[in-house]
Structure 1
Amino acid sequence: MAHQGQVQPEQVDAASVPVADAATILLLRDAGTGVEVFSIRRAASMVFAGGVIAFPGGGVDPSDYDPLPAAGPDGGEWSRRLGVDAPRAQAIVSAAVRECFEETGMLLTSPAHSMSYDGGPDRSLWAPWRSRVDSHEISMGEMLRDNALVADTGRLVELSRWITPVGPPRRYDTFFFGIELTSGDPHEPDGHCGEFDDSGWSRPKDMLDASARSEVHLLPPTLAHFEELAAADSVRGYLDREPTMAPVNNDLPGQIRRPPHHS
């Protein structure tokens, strides 16, 4: 995605800001010190949430309604799991796959349908395609079909749903997904994205401690997920819990917390 310029508050009528769908991805791995998550710091120049610690993701693009060739749940199953109609659910899942590719370089494809050298996908092969998808020259669906690839949407695990309160110049109905990364994944996420000025693997407790010292700024959804991850014994244990997909309309930032998972 391209950089957005700063918008001054007087340019925005807060009550008229539409709520757009979005997808956010938590890339997770087990480490000797516990669960780690790939987090980013959004560039201060961003219109929405500039300077905050967050996770990769972004708004649903019209191109995301172009169905992906995928090996995973169908539209009806995603509709049930996300609580929205099938076309909307499929677009949200497509956005998650696309944003993961654009912002981290992680191409979620079925192992049987991958551009591969020496048993693993070669990142140099898809770099030009990543740029074309990011610049909206082609859709994610076109990129996959042109390369005979199949998105492995079965790796996505729905976690939660948050709605931006009234006030910011942009509002989102954001669906959070978790993805477990293992030693079988040939590449690390790279965070090479113009929307970030820093990125890397984080220990949730470290981020919570830094937030308590006011060293980093965490929006309520990010804080809630860090709290959950800090209490998790493993990535698999975290992802296997029943998600709470009732939308959290966080009208009181810093006071409302996401309802807990049910075991």
Structure 2
Amino acid sequence: MVRRIFDVPPHQIPTAENWFAFGSRTPRSPRRASSVALVHDCANGVETYLTYRPGGSPLGNVAFPGGSHEASDRATYQWFGPSLSQWSKRMDVLDQQLVQAYIVCAIRELFEETGILLAGTDEQSIVEMTDPDDWMSAREAIAVQDLSFDEFLRRRGLGLRTDLLRPVSHWLSPNFALRRFDTWYFAATVPTRQEPTLLRGKGKWARWNVAKQVLAGRESAALGDLVGQPNTVGLNLSQISYPAVELILEAMSDANGVVAYLSRSRALDLKHPDLLVRDGIHYLEVLGSMSAESSRPWQALAGH
């Protein structure tokens, strides 16, 4: 059993203090959510795409693209890649409709927030971004739910390339949090002829970051100052992010390239940070296996 300690983000400290002062109470019900870590290789190691999330997001103020489930995530989709039964076994979730919602939400939120679309017309193809303005308009419409994701794909004859996702981690927000997520994290590479961009009128900051460099400056305000938002400047990585993000960055940093990172087998046990108070200071404590090694490799489940 491994024990890790992280700072509580400043905006959550009042809530943590209240929870500790008045004793344990019934936690708020979590919303289901999905998040996707985009990765690619560079000269300094694995890079990943981090975004700024305003409003004290349960995913972290600086985190991977993602968000909560919507009703359309359970609609009927053309599906390429491992079957829902195979995904269910890999994620150890019996409810296959819930498994679908996690996967569809991941692909939908990735498209909304970055413009990266993991979809194609068959099991071998991947859509190309030939008209950036058309894609941006579609992203805006999907984000405000003027257009459902399933209808967007259907109009273009596209199916979900679920084989391009890898599940990497499963997290439940701390009990004291006012907004809680039950989040599955996935990883993916950027398809050829696609590039991530901020959602027009909504996105504030995003960029590729070398995992090793982010971790090297984790105790400093390097990343927070780079993001440049009022709730990131002067704060370290734990204070602007979430333990899930740090541990995923650590796995990226340890991997010898993107192929090694994506193909690595993983233990997908649920991680649930708990509140720890030491000398009057509040921390997040995470217990469990931090190893990415598992006896259940993804490749054994990815066949058709």
TM-score, length of structure 2 as denominator length: 0.74
Q: Among residues 138, 148, 151, which one is paired with 2:147 in the alignment?
A: 138
Query: Residue 47 of structure 1 contacts residue 169 of structure 1 at CA under 8 Å; is this kept in 2?
Result: no
Q: Among residues 38, 41, 48, which one is paired with 1:37 in the alignment?
A: 48
Deviation at 1:16, TM superposition (A): 4.4
Please state whether the residue corresponding to 1:211 is helix, strand or coil: coil
Rounded to whole Å, the distance in 2 between the matches of 1:54 and 1:198 is 11
Rounded to whole Å, the distance in 2 between the matches of 1:49 and 1:163 is 10
Does 2:101 match 1:91?
yes
Deviations 1:157-183 (A, max 9, x none): 1101011011222111110100023xx
Does 2:215 match 1:208?
yes
Q: Among residues 70, 86, 96, which one is paired with 2:79 in the alignment?
A: 70
Question: What's the counterpart of residue 165 of structure 2?
Answer: 156
Q: Which amino acid aligns with 1:228?
A: A
Question: What's the counterpart of residue 291 of structure 2?
Answer: 260
Query: Residue 27 of structure 2 contacts residue 176 of structure 2 at CA under 8 Å; is this kept in 1?
Result: no
Question: What's the counterpart of residue 101 of structure 1?
Answer: 111
Structure 1 runs not aligned, ≥5 long: 1-5
Please state whether the residue corresponding to 2:274 is helix, strand or coil: coil
Please state whether the residue corresponding to 2:79 is helix, strand or coil: coil
Deviations 1:77-98 (A, max 9, x none): 1111212110000011000010
Aligned residues: 250
Query: Residue 64 of structure 1 contacts residue 139 of structure 1 at CA under 8 Å; is this kept in 2?
Result: no
Greater shift, 31-40 or 215-224, is seen at 215-224
Deviation at 1:27, TM superposition (A): 0.4
Question: What's the counterpart of residue 88 of structure 2?
Answer: 79
Q: Which amino acid aligns with 2:109?
A: E
Question: What's the counterpart of residue 257 of structure 2?
Answer: 234
Rounded to whole Å, the distance in 1 between the matches of 2:27 and 2:194 is 42
Rounded to whole Å, the distance in 2 between the matches of 1:154 and 1:123 is 25
Deviation at 1:36, TM superposition (A): 0.2
Please state whether the residue corresponding to 1:208 is helix, strand or coil: helix
Say if 1:55 and 1:172 are closer, same or farther in 2 by CA, change over 3 A.
same
Deviation at 1:140, TM superposition (A): 1.2
Q: Which amino acid aligns with 1:76?
A: S
Say if 1:91 and 1:188 are closer, same or farther in 2 by CA, change over 3 A.
same
Please state whether the residue corresponding to 2:119 is helix, strand or coil: coil
Please state whether the residue corresponding to 1:212 is helix, strand or coil: coil
Structure 2 runs not aligned, ≥5 long: 1-10, 20-24, 222-235, 276-282, 295-304
Deviation at 1:133, TM superposition (A): 1.0
Deviation at 1:144, TM superposition (A): 0.5
Q: Among residues 221, 233, 245, which one is paired with 1:222 in the alignment?
A: 245
Q: Which amino acid aligns with 1:41?
A: Y
Query: Residue 162 of structure 1 contacts residue 173 of structure 1 at CA under 8 Å; is this kept in 2?
Result: yes
Rounded to whole Å, the distance in 2 between the matches of 1:58 and 1:16 is 20
**Large movers: runs of 4+ above 6 Å:** none
Structural mapping, 1:12-27, within 5 Å: 15-27=26-38
Does 2:72 match 1:59?
no
TM-score, length of structure 1 as denominator length: 0.85
Rounded to whole Å, the distance in 2 between the matches of 1:150 and 1:123 is 20
